[in-house]
Chain A
Amino acid sequence: MAINKAQPDIGNYKYGFSDDIKPVYKSQKGLSEKVIHQLSDIKNEPDWMRQYRLEAYQIFKDKPDLDWGGDLSQLDYDDIYYYVKASDREERSWDDVPDDIKNTFDRLGIPEAEQKFLSGVGAQYDSEVVYHSIEEELDKIGVIFMSTDQALQEHPDLFREYFGTVIPSADNKFAALNSAVWSGGSFIYVPPGVKVSYPLQAYFRINTENMGQFERTLIIADEGAEVHYVEGCTAPIYTSESLHSAVVEIICKPKSRVRYTTIQNWANNIYNLVTKRAMAHEDATMEWVDGNLGSKLTMKYPSVYMVGERAHGEILSIAFASQGQHQDAGGKVVHLAPNTTSKITSKSISKDGGRATYRGLLKVGSGAANCKSNVVCDALILDSESQSDTYPYIEIDEQDVTIEHEARVSKIGEEQLFYLMSRGISEEDASTMIVNGFIEPLVKELPMEYAVEMNRLIQLQMEGSVG
C-alpha cells in the first residue's frame, strides 16, 4: 500500500509503520484516538500499552472536571499539542524570549548554550557525554536509569509489573490524561541492597523529550535499596505548551529508602498539574522534597501510602507564589499499617498578589494502630495583596494514634526587620534574609548546587518587592 508522504493517510498509517518507509508524522493540536494511535506507532509500543492508553483516554473523557483546586477555566484541551516530535519543534528566536527569563538566566549564571535550550531556542542540548559516563557506573552495580520509553522496550516485564500499580488511570482526570499520552520521564530500578551514593538527576539527560508535558516516571527500589532522584532545575523553563501533567510512581520495597527532590520553576504561562505517589512497604522510608517556585498554577500533592509496618513517609514542601501565580500544593500521608510514622512540613510564601494554598490529607485507616504523624504548615504573607489558604483534611479511623497538627500564618515582623536593619542591613536584604531563614528547613535538604541556586532565586524574587 502506498503511503503519500506529503499528506499522511491516517487510516493506513498504523499498518504502514511496519514497512521500512519512515512515516511522516505531522504535529497537530487536540486529542483523539487517532493521535493516540499515532503516538503509540511512533514509539513502536507493544499492544498492551496501546490498549492502556486508549482505555485511559476514555476515562479522561468520562471524568468530570475538578470542582476544587485552582482555576482551570482558561485551559482549552483542544488548543494543546499532545505530542510533538523533537524535530518538529518550532525553533524560537532568541528575541522572542521574555526579558525576565533572560534576566534570571544571567543572574543564575547559566551558560549560554543551556540558556538557548531552556528557552526553546535550540532543539537539543548535548548532555550526552555526562550521561554516558554515569550510565557505565550504574550498569556495574545493576542500576537501571533510562527514559521511560526506553525502559518499556528494554525491560518489558519489569516495566509491566509495576507500571500503573501506584497510580491507576482512573485515579483522577489528569492521571488519566497522562496515562493516555505520556511520553518521556525517567525509569529507575535499584536492585536489592544497592545504595546509590550520589543523586541521580533528570538534568543529566535533558532534551526536549524529557521536558515534555506528560512525563511518566517510575522508580522501583528493591529490598534494602537506596536512591535519591532529583527532578527539574531552578532555571526557568519556557515553552509554549501550556499544560504539563506528569505522573510519578514510586515503589519502596521493604527496608528501602527513596528520596525524590523537585525544584520546579516553570514559566508563568504554564499549568502544572501533577500526580505523585509512593508506596512504602515494611520498614521502608520515602521522602519527598518539593519546591514550587514557578508556573501559573501548580496543583501537586506528593503522597506516601504506608502499606507495610514501620514504614515512614516524609513530605517537605515549599511554595513561593508571586504575582499572577497560584501554588496549590501540600501532601498526603495515608497510614494503612500499624507502627507507621509520617511528617509533613509545608512552608509557603506569597507576595505581590500571589496565592499560596496548602492542601493536605492525613489519613489513618482502621487497623493502622500505634501510628504517629506530625503536620506543620507555615505561611508567610509578605504584603496585603497576597493570599494564603490552608485546607487540611484529617480522616482517622483508628483509636490508637498520635497526631499533631500545627498551622501558622505570619508576615515579616517589624521587630525582626528593625533588628536586622539596626546592623546595617538594608530593608530589602533583611526581608530576603528572613524569607531565606523561613525556607531553610527545605534548602538544607537540597544538594549543594541547588541550594545555592535556590537562595539566588529567592533573592531575585525579593528584589524590587520593597516599596
Chain B
Amino acid sequence: MQHQLTINNLHAGVNGEEILTGVDLTIRSGEIHAMMGPNGSGKSTLANTLMGHPSYKVTSGAVTFDGQDLIELEADERAKMGLFLAFQYPMAIPGVTMANFLRLAVSSVRNNGTSDSTTTSLIPMREFRQELRQKMKKLGIDEAFARRYLNDGFSGGEKKRAEILQLAMLEPKIAILDETDSGLDIDAVRIVGESVNQLIGSDLGVLVITHYPRLLSYIKPDHVHIILGGRVVESGGWELAEQLEAEGYDAIREKYKEVDLDTKEQYTNTVPANV
C-alpha cells in the first residue's frame, strides 16, 4: 500500500515568531529523504510541527497524509494515521515501564477503529510479550530493557534504542527522525543507522532531519533537501549530501544569501529553543 505525506507552503512558528517560511515537501512510502541545514534553519521546528506539538502554530499552508488534513489533528490522531517522530531528546516518564508504555501505545494505534469506548482495549499480554521479545531480539536489545522506566536515567545511546524500538513496534507508515545533534555521538549515529536500515522495507517512508552529513553514510537517502531560513532552498540526490560534506554550509549560505540573512537576524535576536 502506498502512502504519502505532503507538505505545502507550510508557515509555522513558536511564541509569535515565524520560523518555517514556506516548506514544500512530499514523502512517499519506500522513499528515504534527508533534510539538512545549519543551526537555526528550522529543522526541529519542522519535525515538531509535523507531529503536532502544542507550542508550534501553523500560520498558513497545508500538511496532508493520504489526502487527509493533518493540521487540525492532535498528536495521538496523527500517530494513529501512521506518522512517527523519533525525538532528539525523548522525555523521561518515571515509574512507567517501557513494556507497559509500549503495550498501551501499540494498542492505541491498532485500536484505531474502536473509538466508541472510553477505555482503550489492550492487546492480550501474551501476544504482546511475544511480539516485543521478537522485535527486541531483532534489534539486538536486551530483554531487561523493557522493565526499565521509560527514558528514566537512560544514556544517549539507550534513548536512541528506545526510540527505534518504538518505531519497530508501532510500524508507522512515514517516520521522521530528528537527528539534529546526533552527529556528535558516534554510538547514536551507528545505532540509528543500523536499526533503521533493518526496518526500512519497501513500505516505510523516512525523513531524516540532520545537521551532519555523517549520519547519511548509514542511511543512504534517495532525496536530499537543504533547508535554510525556514524553507527548502535546494533539492537533489545523494550528490548534494556529498557536496555539503566537502564544502560545509558556507557555500550554500553564500548562494542563498538573502534567505540566510533572514535566518541570521532571527537567530541573533530571538534565539528560539531547539530551532
Is there a chain A Cβ closer than 8 Å to B30's Cβ?
no
Q: Are A413 and B91 touching (Cβ within 8 A)?
A: yes
Separation of A63 and B268 alpha carbons in the complex (Å): 68
In whole Å, how far is B59's beta carbon from the nearest beta carbon of chain A?
A: 20
Q: Which of A190-198, A300-308, A399-407, A420-428 contacts the other chain?
A: A420-428
Q: Are A426 and B76 touching (Cβ within 8 A)?
A: yes
Which residues of A have CB within 8 Å of B170? 423-424
Which residues of B have CB within 8 Å of A413? 91
Q: Are B53 and A418 touching (Cβ within 8 A)?
A: yes
Q: Are A421 and B79 touching (Cβ within 8 A)?
A: yes
Q: Are B95 and A439 touching (Cβ within 8 A)?
A: yes
Is there a chain B Cβ closer than 8 Å to A441's Cβ?
yes
Which residues of A have CB within 8 Å of B93? 416, 419-420, 433-434, 437
In whole Å, how far is B78's beta carbon from the nearest beta carbon of chain A?
A: 8
Separation of A440 and B152 alpha carbons in the complex (Å): 13
Tell me which of A424, A428, A437, A441 contacts B96 (CB under 8 A): A437
Is there a chain A Cβ closer than 8 Å to B183's Cβ?
no
Is there a chain A Cβ closer than 8 Å to B54's Cβ?
yes
Q: Are A421 and B91 touching (Cβ within 8 A)?
A: no
Which residues of B have CB within 8 Å of A423? 76, 79, 101, 105, 108-109, 166, 170
Q: Are B149 and A437 touching (Cβ within 8 A)?
A: yes
| Residue of A418, A428, A430, A433 contacting most chain B CB atoms (<10 Å) | A418
Q: Are A419 and B91 touching (Cβ within 8 A)?
A: yes
In whole Å, how far is A379's beta carbon from the nearest beta carbon of chain B?
A: 15
Is there a chain B Cβ closer than 8 Å to A104's Cβ?
no
> What 1/0 flags go to A79-114 for Cβ under 8 Å of B?
000000000000000000000000000000000000
In whole Å, how far is A291's beta carbon from the nearest beta carbon of chain B?
A: 15
Which residues of A have CB within 8 Å of B262? none
> What 1/0 flags go to A176-191 for Cβ under 8 Å of B?
0000000000000000
Known A-B contacts A415-B91, A423-B79; the reply to A440 vs B105 at CB < 8 A is no
Known A-B contacts A413-B91, A415-B91, A418-B53; the reply to A424 vs B118 at CB < 8 A is no
Is there a chain A Cβ closer than 8 Å to B120's Cβ?
yes
Is there a chain B Cβ closer than 8 Å to A9's Cβ?
no
Q: Which residue of A lies closest to B74 (CB)?
A: A421
Q: Which residue of B lies closest to A426 (CB)?
A: B76
Which residues of A have CB within 8 Å of B96? 433-434, 436-437, 440
In whole Å, how far is B5's beta carbon from the nearest beta carbon of chain A?
A: 15
Is there a chain B Cβ closer than 8 Å to A383's Cβ?
no
In whole Å, how far is B88's beta carbon from the nearest beta carbon of chain A?
A: 12
Is there a chain B Cβ closer than 8 Å to A71's Cβ?
no
Tell me which of B55, B75, B104, B118 contacts A422 (CB under 8 A): B75
> What 1/0 flags go to A438-452 for Cβ under 8 Å of B?
111100000000000
Q: Are B149 and A429 touching (Cβ within 8 A)?
A: no
Q: Are B54 and A425 touching (Cβ within 8 A)?
A: no
Which residues of B have CB within 8 Å of A65? none
In whole Å, how far is B31's beta carbon from the nearest beta carbon of chain A?
A: 22
| Residue of A414, A422, A437 contacting most chain B CB atoms (<10 Å) | A422
Tell me which of B54, B78, B94 contacts A440 (CB under 8 A): B94
Separation of A382 and B110 alpha carbons in the complex (Å): 29
Q: Are B108 and A425 touching (Cβ within 8 A)?
A: yes
Q: Are A424 and B149 touching (Cβ within 8 A)?
A: no
Interface residues on B, range: 20 to 34
Q: Are A419 and B108 touching (Cβ within 8 A)?
A: no
Known A-B contacts A423-B170, A424-B80; the reply to A429 vs B104 at CB < 8 A is yes
Which residues of A have CB within 8 Å of B87? 419, 422
> What 1/0 flags go to B79-97 for Cβ under 8 Å of A?
1100011010011011110
Is there a chain A Cβ closer than 8 Å to B204's Cβ?
no
Q: Are B51 and A440 touching (Cβ within 8 A)?
A: no
Which residues of B have CB within 8 Å of A436? 95-96
In whole Å, how far is B65's beta carbon from the nearest beta carbon of chain A?
A: 14
Separation of A463 and B120 alpha carbons in the complex (Å): 12
Is there a chain A Cβ closer than 8 Å to B40's Cβ?
no
Separation of A438 and B95 alpha carbons in the complex (Å): 6
Separation of A419 and B149 alpha carbons in the complex (Å): 15
Q: Are A418 and B75 touching (Cβ within 8 A)?
A: yes
Separation of A418 and B76 alpha carbons in the complex (Å): 8
Separation of A415 and B89 alpha carbons in the complex (Å): 10
Known A-B contacts A437-B94, A437-B149; the reply to A414 vs B54 at CB < 8 A is yes
Which residues of A have CB within 8 Å of B119? 459
In whole Å, how far is B173's beta carbon from the nearest beta carbon of chain A?
A: 13
Is there a chain A Cβ closer than 8 Å to B205's Cβ?
no
Q: Are A438 and B79 touching (Cβ within 8 A)?
A: no
Q: Are B76 and A425 touching (Cβ within 8 A)?
A: yes
Tell me which of A419, A429, A437, A459 contacts B95 (CB under 8 A): A437
Q: Are B109 and A441 touching (Cβ within 8 A)?
A: no
In whole Å, how far is A287's beta carbon from the nearest beta carbon of chain B?
A: 20
Q: Are B104 and A425 touching (Cβ within 8 A)?
A: yes
Q: Are A422 and B79 touching (Cβ within 8 A)?
A: yes
Is there a chain A Cβ closer than 8 Å to B229's Cβ?
no
In whole Å, how far is A185's beta carbon from the nearest beta carbon of chain B?
A: 33
Q: Are B118 and A463 touching (Cβ within 8 A)?
A: yes
Which residues of B have CB within 8 Å of A440? 94-96, 149
In whole Å, how far is A336's beta carbon from the nearest beta carbon of chain B?
A: 34
Q: Are B95 and A421 touching (Cβ within 8 A)?
A: no
Which residues of B have CB within 8 Å of A439? 95
Separation of A436 and B149 alpha carbons in the complex (Å): 12
Q: Are A429 and B94 touching (Cβ within 8 A)?
A: no
Separation of A423 and B119 alpha carbons in the complex (Å): 16
Separation of A429 and B93 alpha carbons in the complex (Å): 14
Which residues of A have CB within 8 Å of B91? 413, 415-416, 418-419
Which residues of A have CB within 8 Å of B118? 428, 463
Which residues of B have CB within 8 Å of A429? 104, 108, 120
Q: Which residues of A contact B (CB under 8 A)?
A: 413-416, 418-430, 433-434, 436-441, 459, 463
In the complex, besides A422-B84, A437-B149, 17 extra interface pairs with C-beta distance below 8 angstroms are A413-B91, A416-B93, A421-B52, A421-B76, A422-B87, A423-B76, A423-B109, A424-B108, A426-B108, A429-B104, A433-B101, A438-B94, A438-B95, A439-B95, A440-B94, A459-B119, A463-B118
Closest CB pairs A-B (n = 4): A437-B95, A440-B95, A424-B79, A424-B109
26 A–B contacts from the bound complex (CB under 8 Å): A414-B54, A416-B93, A418-B54, A419-B87, A419-B91, A420-B93, A422-B51, A422-B52, A422-B84, A423-B101, A424-B79, A424-B170, A425-B108, A426-B76, A429-B120, A433-B96, A434-B93, A437-B94, A437-B149, A437-B150, A438-B95, A439-B95, A440-B94, A440-B95, A440-B149, A441-B95
